[in-house]
Chains A and B, each alone.
Chain A
Amino acid sequence: MIEFLIKHSIYIVLIIVLIIWAGISFYLYSLDKKISKLEKNIPDIVEGSKPS
């Protein structure tokens, strides 16, 4: 495995990029969740989601 990675270093780049992307994905997803929760607690913020 390590020998393979040393020989094909582009896979190391791939793994690192995917880890970074996983981090960004997780952050975006959790941010979206938090904002949705806030919107539910303060109704009538987003148009059409809940009539006041």
Chain B
Amino acid sequence: MKAIIIIVGLGLGLFIGIYPGLTKPKPKFIKFFALLIPVFTIFLTLLPPIAGTFEDARIVGQRSPGKMVNVKLTPIPGTVRHVTTIKSLSDDPEDYIITGGYEQFIAFDSQSGKNKVYKLVINNKIIPKELKEGKPLVSLINYNAEKDKYYFNSIVSVDPILTLPYVASLGELVRILNYHVPSAWIAVLAFLISMIFSVQYLRKRDIKYDVISSSAAEVGTVYTIFATVTGMFWAKFNWGSYWNWDPRETSIFVLLLIYGAYFALRSAIEKEDVKARLSAVYSILAFITVPFFVFVLPRITQSLHPGSASESNIGPVLSSQSDMLNTTKQYIFSLSMMSFTIIFLWILNLRIRVGNLKLKINN
């Protein structure tokens, strides 16, 4: 199901992006569409609150005491009452219980896979008014391992329409996934287009295929750099440093070197047809390494990057077991994939048209 949603996004992106042709000027509505969809993606990536489960709060609380986790709570109607008197718990003067009623919530329990009823102790004398309204909320919860209790801290969002999954050790950083992964995939797509048109060039010996092939390699390199830079910032806050020669980082660096050599080769040859022929052959050879460096090498080595050999699944985006993408996140990721594809194909289209113009003027 996950794969179908993502493939539909990619397919729609390809269809809208290529229409009415890779080298033809785009109609106005496609441009409008291409600029509008990323706006939705930006909103949907940044605004929904991240919501985990009590199990997440427990794991995080045991690992780093005092750290809080967003948990989605659904109050059971009628259980949240007005405060009448507040009595301190005898064993802990910091905890308060509300006499005359306690707060009951339904929250997802990932261990049993079912919804479970939780009672919360509120360490605040005043019950927030949002809590009394009986709407679902995302609240900051922390787990105290010594007392085996969950503490309700504050309300993050009331009645959220969409929530993003909570991933332990990522937290709010999970939002970068919507920009980092599509840019890496788009780079592969660009190199694939470059390879296909290189083959076309070698078959037909028409210079227009060389323009498409070299433009795709250029835009693909830009996207590879984008994936590397977003990954670097992500690594800084998850792994501790911008660059630590992780297999994934090394493989993308080698990939950048390979395509850097492609441009060095192109700029070294003056004669158009020799340049086109040699760079077409090089592009085909270079693409053979792309699946290896992007999909294979980081998966067979021990790496910090998700989906490496040290993990049981093939990565958060592709694996069917991973909980990094819930249904909402899958649709938003798919939308992001689509907008990245459309924008990429538009930039590629502009680049090819500039290349064609240059060719015409030179002749």
> Could you tell me which A residues sit within 8 Å of B by CB distance?
10, 13-14, 17-18, 21, 25, 28-29, 31-32, 35-36, 38-39, 42, 45-49
Interface contact A46-B35, CB-CB below 8 Å: no
B window 1-35: CB within 8 A of A:
21, 23-26, 31, 35
A13 to B31, CA, bound (A): 25
Main secondary structure of the interface of A (DSSP, over half): helix
Question: Size of chain B's interface in residues, with CB distance under 8 A?
Answer: 24
A39: chain B residues within 8 A (beta carbon): 25, 353, 357
Q: A31-B350, A32-B26, A49-B24 are in contact. Are A38 and B35 (CB under 8 A)?
A: no
Closest chain A CB from B18 CB (angstroms) = 15
Closest chain B CB from A48 CB (angstroms) = 7
| Cβ-defined partner of B47 (8 Å) among A10, A36, A38, A49 | A10
Interface contact A14-B43, CB-CB below 8 Å: yes
A45 to B208, CA, bound (A): 11
What would 10 A/B residue contacts be, using CB atoms closer than 8 Å?
A14-B43, A14-B47, A31-B350, A35-B350, A35-B353, A36-B25, A39-B353, A46-B24, A48-B24, A49-B25
Closest chain A CB from B309 CB (angstroms) = 35
Interface contact A17-B42, CB-CB below 8 Å: yes
Interface contact B350-A32, CB-CB below 8 Å: yes
A36: chain B residues within 8 A (beta carbon): 25
A18 to B353, CA, bound (A): 28
Closest chain B CB from A1 CB (angstroms) = 17
Interface contact A25-B35, CB-CB below 8 Å: yes
Q: A28-B347, A46-B24, A47-B23 are in contact. Are A35 and B43 (CB under 8 A)?
A: no
A18 to B38, CA, bound (A): 9
Q: A28-B35, A29-B35, A47-B24 are in contact. Are A21 and B357 (CB under 8 A)?
A: no
B window 304-336: CB within 8 A of A:
none
| Cβ-defined partner of B31 (8 Å) among A21, A32, A42, A47 | A32
A39 to B358, CA, bound (A): 11
Mark interface residues in B155-192 (1 if CB within 8 Å of A CB, else 0): 00000000000000000000000000000000000000
